[in-house]
Amino acid sequence: MSRTKNVLAFVMAGGEGSRLHPLTAERCKPAVPFNGKHRIVDFVLSNLVNSEIYSIYLLVQYKSQSLIEHIRQSWTMTRFIPQHFVTVVPPQMQNGPEWFQGTADSVFQNIHLIEEFRPDIVAVFGADHIYRMDVRQMLEFHQANDAHVSVATLPVRLSECNQFGIVETDERHRITQFMEKPASARPMPGSSTHALASMGNYLFNADVLLDALKRAKAQGQSDFGKHILPAMLQSHRLLAYDFATNEIPGIAPYEEHGYWRDVGTIDSYFQAHFDTLGATPRFRMTNRQWPIYASPDQAESAQIENGIIHRSVVGSGSIVDGARLDHAMLRRSVTVERDAHLAHCIVMERSRIGHGAQVRCAIIDQDNDIPPGEHIGFDLEADRQRFHVTESGIVVVPRGYFPTAQRKPPTPLGAHRPGMQLSPSDNLRRAFA
């Protein structure tokens, strides 16, 4: 059998993402925007497609409409190749009026898809992480070691064990214990500070998975990490695949090898954005040999009249006119007016930063019109009266908090302003003298 022959993938995209609130107030976690034009779900889908796995079911649940629209617009596979598809599957409720009760239950409710497709291997992957992975290498490991189940793993700090499934292995990579989000764990061999954690990416032999799902359903069990994997330890070969061995073409020497981030909190989501910035980023978004695909972009090119811009991303259709950007991430169609200053900010689609507004350490969700002279991120106590503020001081302005105001539009780019010289260099010196 070839490396990727007859592999069916299920992507768990039903996450509510409560720790990312208010970014998830109107969208599910996998649909949350990331970087200039991506969404979180694009990473797992790109990894699967780049790995020549083209048969993908996306299991959705909470607030899924924006995700469904994104998949429809961005991930339509050709209709001429029947087994090339990315298909969204909401709860079918074929076994009763209930939503997905857990990760395993979401697959069980769609067990007919496995039986109809008749794959050799089923990949069950999460949709919540920022990373690159060649799944073919994990498939090779799985088959070479006659595994029934393979679990992708990587080290995490002991203090973070309560956020992951923690595994213990023997010298042959066989998993001897699987604990879902334990309060504490023993360090992995060779380390006093880290334990080995599941990435939430699994490969199952199809017959093994079908049998395990049916047995779990009969016993009222609904989750892979809590129920199915621990129960299989004595009867099946569960192996830990070391994500650190995964090699991706086109990775630059300065990038962090094996980069993987669980962007489940505002702080981790915020920091991951800035890992992509600069000439030598930890995670370079532009890798032609292993692209992260994004939605089609019909917007015009960004326009920059003048300003001071340092280590920032300016999305298509955006306008920067005499503003100062320092570690700013602007998505599509963002307008930043004169004398505004953005420092360590993420600004989402169709937002406007008014004349003289000052914003730092903040996430501005889409469709916000920040008033002229507004200050955000300078008085956190005052900000908490209006916005969500994390313990580390990141301010999140919810979608549409500042509705589009009926105010006079700014002077068009390049137009004469009273008292100003028309020379672009003079404009720049005057704006930031």
What pLDDT shows up at residue 424?
38
Mean pLDDT of 306-334: 96
What pLDDT shows up at residue 246?
98
What pLDDT shows up at residue 432?
33
For residue 298, pLDDT over 80 is answered with: no
Which residues does 320 contact at the CB level (< 8 Å), separation at least 6? 302, 303, 304, 305, 307, 309, 314, 330, 336
Locate all alpha helices (DSSP H) within 366-406, ordered by sequence.
380-384
Residue 42 vs residues 12, 50, 120, 414: alpha-carbon distances, Å: 13, 12, 25, 37
What is the average pLDDT score of the chain? 89
pLDDT tens by residue, 410-420: 555 555 444 44
DSSP letter assigned to residue 402:
S
DSSP letter assigned to residue 366:
S
Residue 365 and residue 401: Cα distance in Å, rounded? 9
Annotated ligand binding at 181? The verdict is yes
- Comparing 94 with 122, the larger pLDDT belongs to 122
Amino acid at 330: L
Residue 418 and residue 347: Cα distance in Å, rounded? 30
Annotated ligand binding at 98? The verdict is no
Annotated ligand binding at 69? The verdict is no
What pLDDT shows up at residue 79?
53
Annotated ligand binding at 225? The verdict is no
Domains belonging to the chain, first-starting first, are 7-262 (3.90.550.10), 303-431 (2.160.10.10)
pLDDT tens by residue, 234-289: 899 999 999 999 999 999 999 999 999 999 999 999 999 999 999 999 999 999 99
- Tell whether pTM > 0.85: yes
What pLDDT shows up at residue 76?
79
What pLDDT shows up at residue 209?
97
Lowest model confidence (mean pLDDT) among 42-51, 56-65, 314-323, 410-419? 410-419
What pLDDT shows up at residue 344?
98
Nearest C-alpha neighbor of 111 from the set 16, 206, 44: 206
**Model confidence band, residue 296 (pLDDT cutoffs 50, 70, 90):** confident
pLDDT tens by residue, 356-405: 999 999 999 999 999 999 999 999 999 999 999 999 999 999 999 999 76
Share of the chain above pLDDT 70, in %: 89
What pLDDT shows up at residue 92?
63
Residue 163 and residue 146: Cα distance in Å, rounded? 29
Residue 359 and residue 398: Cα distance in Å, rounded? 14
For residue 299, pLDDT over 80 is answered with: no
For residue 407, pLDDT over 70 is answered with: no
- Comparing 408 with 188, the larger pLDDT belongs to 188
